[in-house]
Amino acid sequence: MPAYIVRRVLISIGVLFVASFLLYLAVASSGDPLASLKARPGITQSAIDATARSLGLDQPVVVRWWNWLTGVLTGDWGTSVALGQAQAPVFSTVMHALWVTIRLVVIAEVLALLVGGAVGAIAALRQYSVTDYVATTLAFVLFSMPVFCIAIILKTYGIQFNLLLIDLGGERWLTTAGPPDGGFTGSPGHMFFTFTGTYLLPTIALAAISFAAYSRFQRASMLEVMRQDYVRTARAKGLSERQVVLRHALRNALLPVTTYFAYNFGAVFGGAIVTEQVFGWNGMGSLLVRSIQQYDPNMLMGWLLVTATIVVLFNLFADIAYSYLDPRIRLG
Amino acid sequence: MAETTDVARTTHPGKVPAPDRERDGGEPEGVFLSQGQLVLRRFLRHRAAMTSLTIFVLFVLFVYLAPPFLGYSLTDLSAGSYEDPSSAHVFGTDQVGADVFSLVMKGSQFSLQIGLLTTAIATVIGVLMGTLAGYLRRGADTAISRVTDLFLVVPLQAAAAVLINGVGGSWWLVGLVLGFFLWMPIARVTRAESLSLSQREFVEAARASGATTWRIVSRHLVPNMVGTIVVNATLTLSLAVLTEAALSFIGLGVRIPDTSLGLVLNQNYTQLATRPWLFWAPFVAIVLISLTINFIGDGLRDAFDPRQTRR
């Protein structure tokens, strides 16, 4: 097992090395971060050159990538090359964005896993019933919807709901501008009010898509398990249906879903990109879009390092969890 | 079904007896159906899939053939900004006075084209990579799984967005780039299947009689994976349409003068509260495309599944 982990981590580092090179080259050669400066009227060539030199843009792309790489290995993530960013340090910018996104994603994913798991299991136990058809149709419709459309609908009608609240003499509840900078303050009641108002809509938007996947997965796995011999044995030895389902079937059916959860977690960061855009959260998604549009390879590399680490860790975790939960699986 | 396949193997290779006569409408004794006929019959009886296929085909025909006859113009901007729906403009006009119905039709055309191009590329690359990895194993397998690892580490949206932002946003470039990033799921399933097929006697026999790798892949492996390939292609098609919409929506996908449903949504979604039709028209078009494709894929999966016993 330790040998397996070490091998996987080493492979991931190698892969990340290649990925960083390719992405750095792609984003650095796809456009000029100084374009808006050069378009400014009355700007002199020497001023442009000076800015380019101070940002390191006068060097060839490969050299810039090498400088970035040696910097990262000594713990320096570099600074942004985008004009508006005023050489913002990459590390603290990325960490700030990560903290914003991770809170949103974790809440949404856990919620989706719990609800999706429960709905999938019930749908499987009552296969071809009305419940099953409703759950299946819902999952299909959610699957077929772009994530951002759910977000847009929630946001628009959330704002209208706010207006309704204000009309009734209430307070604005649902916010669409990310978590407050100073954290949640005030009385516990007020904190709960602002917390739910901030998280409710983006969490639903993110959880909806994952819910569809988890409920389908759980349903398939539960159907598979209910056909197994040990479930028949459990019934035959006179256990109540409740015990058969909860003790014998559900516990085994959870296995593939939990590992899928771990594999999926990295991909959820992708879904969060668009949801964040719609709800105005300044997280990893906005950071990614901004660094691509501003041709800012250093910032993009910071984003890549964090995202890749999360993906690799969760995949590793999924493999280990699988081999631990199902002793028949051997890692090698 | 399990026993019928056993019968097939012992009596008549390549032909499978009709599954359950009573359920399938009392075929006379001794009538045999080929695998293809069985699949087609199961698919035709899948109600959700057939309904979806009909809707999808009608929608595609409508999107490509109807607009010229309906008298709406994409270039005529003489109407005012944000006009309400009327007989002249069924879905009203947008900010610059363009007819939204024509925009949605044009967007659907481009979204479908991008989806099909992406699926074609992803399927060809995925099937080649997967089959070769599963058949050749060793070096080829390792190389291909490293490439898969690479795409696992770099999220698809990020890599595609960087490339599209660099090369410009015409529809075929978007389709091309997405195709190069969406082949991994197909490669994964075809690899698994070709791993197990490669152990079978008929592949060994082909190899023993001196067939080249290309011949084994194209004549023996791929034809035996048609079901898997077709089902995964439909999944890729719906995924491609949705991914393209998301990328265009955040401004890193298709750009003007080309358009797509994602771009139409991007330009009009802020009007949802006051002029809901501007949002719902392109939204319904996307959901219609992707929902019908998903149901068709579901029907195909059931039709190709040899364990399938329900009608």
Report pLDDT digits (tens) over A106-146.
888 899 999 998 999 999 988 888 988 899 888 888 888 88
Please answer yes or no on whether B150 and A292 come within 8 Å at the CB atom: no
pLDDT at B61 over 80: yes
Is the pLDDT higher at B72 or at A285? A285
Q: Which two tokens stand for residue B58?
A: 């009608």
Distance from CA of A185 to the nearest CA of B (A): 31
Q: In angstroms, rounded to a whole number, what is the distance separating the alpha carbons of residues B213 and B140?
A: 13
Share of chain B above pLDDT 90, in %: 19
Determine the Cα–Cα distance for residues B130 and B117; give it in Å rounded to an integer.
20
Average the pLDDT over B226-232 and give the result. Answer: 89
pLDDT at A158: 84
Q: Do A26 and B250 touch (CB under 8 A)?
A: no
Q: Among partner residues A30, A159, A270, which is closest to B273 by beta-carbon distance?
A: A159
CB-CB under 8 Å, B249 with A146: yes
| pLDDT score of B201 more than 60 | yes
Per-residue pLDDT reduced to its tens digit, B152-179: 777 777 788 888 877 777 888 889 889 9
Cis preceding linkage at B257, omega within 30: yes
Task: Give the per-residue pLDDT at B26.
Answer: 47
d(CA A264, CA A182): 31
Assess whether pLDDT exceeds 90 at residue A39: no
Tell me what percent of the residues of chain B surpass a pLDDT of 70: 85
- How far apart CA B65 and CA B59 sit, in angstroms, is 10
What pLDDT shows up at residue A164? Answer: 85
How does pLDDT run across A61-89, given as a tens digit for each residue?
888 888 888 888 888 887 777 766 667 88
Given this model, what pLDDT does residue A84 score? 67
Residue A28's alpha-carbon distances to A18, A301, B103, B250, in angstroms, are 15, 11, 34, 20
* Predicted pLDDT of residue A270: 60
Compute the CA torsion angle A208, A211, A213, A216 (nearest 10 deg).
Answer: -130
CA distance B239 to A146: 10
Q: What is the per-residue pLDDT for B309?
A: 53
Q: Is the pLDDT of residue B123 over 90?
A: yes
Q: Is B242 on the interface with A (CB under 8 A)?
A: yes
| Torsion angles phi and psi, residue A89, rounded to 5 | -65, 130
Render pLDDT for A150-178 as a digit per residue (tens, 0 to 9): 888 888 888 888 888 888 877 777 777 66
CA angle, residues A37, A40, A41, in degrees to nearest 5: 150
Q: Where are the beta strands (DSSP E) in A66-166?
A: none
Angle between helices A147-167 and B261-268 (to 10 degrees): 20
**CA–CA dist B199, A10 (Å, integer):** 31
Res B189: pLDDT: 86
- pLDDT at B2 exceeding the cut of 70: no
Among B169, B187, A100, CA closest to B160: B169
- In this prediction, residues A193-198 reach a mean pLDDT of 78
pLDDT for residue A248 is more than 60:
yes
Q: Inform me whether the pLDDT recorded for B5 exceeds 60.
A: no
ipTM of this predicted complex? 0.81
**Angstrom distance (rounded) from CA A272 to CA A100:** 11
Q: What is the pLDDT of residue A183?
A: 66
CA distance A306 to A324: 27
Tokens at residue B102, please?
């024509």
* Distances B202 to A106, B129, B160, B196, B198 between C-alpha atoms, Å: 49, 21, 40, 12, 9
pLDDT given at position B120: 96
Taking only residues 177 to 236 of chain A, the set having a beta carbon closer than 8 angstroms to any beta carbon of chain B reads none
pLDDT tens per residue across span B237-267: 998 999 899 888 888 888 877 888 888 888 8
Which CATH superfamily is A91-325 part of?
A: MetI-like (1.10.3720.10)
Q: Which of A152, A277, A304 sits opposite B250 (nearest CB)?
A: A277
Contact B145, B200 (CB under 8 A): no
A88 touches chain B (CB under 8 A): no
What are the backbone angles phi and psi of residue B119, rounded to the nearest 5°? -65, -40
Mark which residues 269-328 of A lie under 8 Å from B by CB: 269-270, 273-274, 277, 288-289, 292-293, 300, 303-304, 307-308, 311-312, 315
Contact A169, B283 (CB under 8 A): no
Q: What is the mean pLDDT of chain B?
A: 80
> How many whole angstroms separate alpha carbon A262 and alpha carbon A210?
12
pLDDT of residue B254: 85
Phi, psi of B185 (to 5 degrees): -60, -40
Gap from B166 CA to chain A (nearest CA, Å) = 4
- CA-wise closest residue to B154 among A265, A270, A78: A270
Nearest CA in chain A to B143: A15
Tokens of B187: 């490669």
For residues A156 and B265, the answer to whether their CB atoms sit within 8 Å is no
Q: Is the pLDDT of residue B110 over 70?
A: yes
Domain boundaries, chain A: 91-325
Note the pLDDT of residue B122. Answer: 94
Per-residue burial over B193-206, b = 16 or more CB atoms within 10 Å of its CB, e = otherwise:
bbbebbeeeebeeb
On whether the CB atoms of residues A91 and A72 are closer than 8 A, the answer is: no
Report for A167-181, B21-35, B211-225, B263-277: range of highest mean pLDDT: B211-225
Looking up tokens 């359950």 gives B20
3-class SS of residue B33:
strand
pLDDT at residue B237, rounded to an integer? 93
More confident residue, A325 or B38: B38
The per-residue pLDDT for B306 is: 66
The pTM is what? 0.83
